[in-house]
Amino acid sequence: MEFQQIKRAMSSTLFKQALFDQLARVGKAVGQGHRLVLLDYLAQGERSVEALAGLTGLSVANTSKHLQQLRQAGLVVARKEGLYVHYRLSDPEVVLLLGVMRRLSERHLAEVETLVQGYLLSRDAMEPLPRETLLARMREGIVTVLDVRPPEEYAAGHLPRAVNIPLRELERRLHELPPGREVVAYCRGAWCVLSFEAVATLRQQGFDARRLEEGFPEWQLAALPVEEGERESWKPVPSVDGGMATVGK
């Protein structure tokens, strides 16, 4: 092989290695469980370091360190407001990355299968509803969509016509749900225990209830209709097709 050919081959190899070294920075950033949990919360919307610390049970200092690692890898961005620093995902496809990791681990890690079977599916083993099926039923006006996340997450973004009853309030507010109508509950994602527990509670009380297959971040990533802000329950609101639909009783 001539010298120039050897030089080109070596340059190509070094370039590829350098490129994959940078890619490994992303892998290193997501190679820690606490950081994945932080990304999962940020997939619901922007939060301050203090709010994330409260949700995860980490100290503010530890939370800040993990977020800085994620920021250096380009997965989150930050802004300062007064004394507080707020973080959000840098790109919607971070949700896609988390989804790929989840699906791969479900298929190939026995420990994940054991955890999912023992903790989640013990609460609700029924097949969840695909988002396309839910969207069709929403357009027909034959389903009640229940968002069981905290109010601040609901306000940041939710499915059209979804009613927000956080899980901790569900039992005392069951009377607000119309009888004889299917209820589809959703929360933060496929592994979010809130929707599993909500569906279990609803079925115990005689409701026809199902889970959405994934959660709000995946719905939004699929470019399906979303709403923002708070709304009173059971009022006439715009349908997902632009007309008017009466929700609830």
Active site residue 187: yes
Strand residues in 84-179 grouped as ranges (E): 84-89, 143-147, 163-164
33-42 helix and 60-72 helix, angle to the nearest 10 degrees: 80
Give the strand pairing for 143-147 and 163-164.
parallel
Give the strand pairing for 209-211 and 182-186.
parallel
What is the identity of the amino acid at 68? Q
Residue given tokens 């069951």 in the structure block: 174
- Give me the count of residues in the chain: 249
Q: Encoding tokens for residue 142?
A: 């034959």
29 phi and psi angles, rounded to 5 deg? -65, -40
Strand residues in 12-164 grouped as ranges (E): 47-48, 76-81, 84-89, 143-147, 163-164
What is the identity of the amino acid at 233? S
241, 226 Cβ separation under 8 angstroms? no
Selected catalytic residue, list 38, 187, 192, 199: 187
Output the furthest CA–CA distance in the chain (Å, rounded).
Answer: 82
244 phi and psi angles, rounded to 5 deg? -115, 145
Residues tagged active-site: 187
